[in-house]
Amino acid sequence: MRRKNNSSSILFLIIFGSIIGGVVYLYNSVMFERNAPVVTVTQAEYWNLKEPIDITIEDDSGIKWYEVKMISSEGEKVLTQEALLLAKDKLQLKVEYPKMSYGIRDKEIKIVVTAVDVSKWDFFSGNTASVEKSFIVDKKKPLVSLITNSYGIYKGGSALVIFKAKDENLDDLYIEVNKKRRFKVQPFHEEGNYVALVAWPVTEKKFDARIIVKDKAGNTMRVHIPKHRV
């Protein structure tokens, strides 16, 4: 009788140990991984509503669903949403603003990115990540006006350029020659005025110079600099 009880106890321990081992295995398996997807919004804090927003979503077990929506004074609007038939470890999205809604007057909007992975964690519903980011809306191009410049330039020579640039979110400005050479500009005299010395490389046949001014939202203004060849 005692031998039978001992056998039953050993069998119970084996079964119990197998169950515990199975639970521990599943708990630590990729199928039940507990890390939420990683969402990265690489766009700057300004948005001109023309250029797409770059969004990256990554997850070890794979992404099965994502959504990108915009929150403004007009309410919530889904910009893109997808349930993936085949889970992917990494998604790189370029999310565009709806062209039909370009007349929005909000000075600030919010983008919310939500992603769910294929993990069986959380009662088989998966891990969820939600990232919010606010953007300052800037649709205006910088104001640029040419003040003065050297009348003429010869091959291998240089010329002076003075111009005015204005923008609340000014980011970068320079002079571009022949669409490949950049010349730095410096503040000059009054606030908003800039000066630069540009050159016509002796190795290049033509000379085409333009003032390039960009703001933090990506709005760009290009102004041609008239020159007479001498």
d(Cα 209, Cα 199) in Å, to the nearest integer? 9
Q: What is the pTM of this model?
A: 0.74
pLDDT bracket for residue 105 (50, 70, 90) = confident
- Amino acid (one-letter) located at 87: A
pLDDT digits (tens, 9 = 90+) for 124-138: 567 999 999 999 999
Task: Using the structure block, give the residue that is written with the tokens 């197998």.
Answer: 18
| Residue 71 C-beta-side C-alpha neighbours within 13 Å | 9
Letter for the amino acid at 124? F
Helices (H), the chain: 2-28, 121-124
DSSP H or E segment with residue 145: strand 143-149
pLDDT tens profile 189-206: 889 999 999 999 889 888
Residue-range domains of the chain with CATH: 35-137 (2.60.40.3880), 143-229 (2.60.40.10)
The encoded tokens of residue 175 equal 């002079």
What is the Cα–Cα distance from 124 to 42, expressed in whole angstroms? 31
Q: Which two tokens stand for residue 190?
A: 């009054």
Q: Which of 155-159, 201-205, 209-213 has the highest mean pLDDT?
A: 209-213
How does DSSP classify residue 203?
T
Structure tokens at 77: 């609007």
Element (H, E) at 226: none
pLDDT of 183 above 90: yes
Q: How many CA atoms lie within 13 A of 146 on its CB side?
A: 17
